[in-house]
């Protein structure tokens, strides 16, 4: 039972354009959502998070949008840079992040120079 889904295994975007990564979840108990970035042979690196009391959170080039009614969130990266090429994981937690994380399967983002 995949409670967090990232339906796009890969995405290619031109440098300077916007990258949009999507994530869907099924568990209504999830109320805290995070995006992690992962390079090969490294652990995931935290990017940005959002709690269910908000619908948008912004940090520099990264913005996360949450649509609770659709159980959908998205990560926008603008402008995209070559260093953004990595695998991006969406994760969700209950109890406002005070519990274990449930991850999606990841989206490999490739930024084309």
Partner 1 sequence: DTGVSQNPRHKITKRGQNVTFRCDPISEHNRLYWYRQTLGQGPEFLTYFQNEAQLEKSRLLSDRFSAERPKGSFSTLEIQRTEQGDSAMYLCASSLAMLENEQFFGPGTRLTVL
Binders in 80-99 for partner 1, by CB under 8 A:
89, 91, 95-98
Task: Tell whether residue 24 is a contact of partner 1 (CB under 8 A).
Answer: no
The rounded distance, in Å, linking the Cα atoms of 8 and 2 is 14
Angle of CA points 5, 27, 9, to nearest 5°: 5
Binding of partner 1 by 70 (CB under 8 A):
no
What's the residue count for the chain? 113
Among 8, 49, 81, 110, binds partner 1 (CB under 8 A): 49
Cα 51–Cα 19–Cα 57 angle in degrees, nearest 5: 20
Using CB under 8 A as the binding rule, whether residue 103 contacts partner 1 is answered as yes
> Which residues are at the interface with partner 1 (CB under 8 A)?
4, 32, 34, 36, 41-46, 49, 51, 89, 91, 95-98, 100-106
């Amino acid at each position: 039972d995949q409670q967090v889904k990232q339906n796009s295994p890969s995405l290619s975007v031109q440098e300077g354009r916007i990258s949009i990564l999507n994530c869907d979840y099924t568990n209504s108990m999830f109320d805290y959502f995070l995006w992690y970035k992962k390079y090969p042979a490294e652990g995931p690196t935290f990017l940005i998070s959002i709690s269910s009391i908000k619908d948008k959170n912004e940090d520099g080039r990264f913005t996360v949008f949450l649509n609770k009614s659709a159980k959908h969130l998205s990560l926008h990266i603008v402008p995209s840079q070559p260093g953004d090429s990595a695998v991006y994981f969406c994760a969700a937690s209950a109890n406002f992040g005070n519990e274990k994380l449930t991850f999606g399967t990841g989206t490999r983002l490739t930024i084309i120079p």
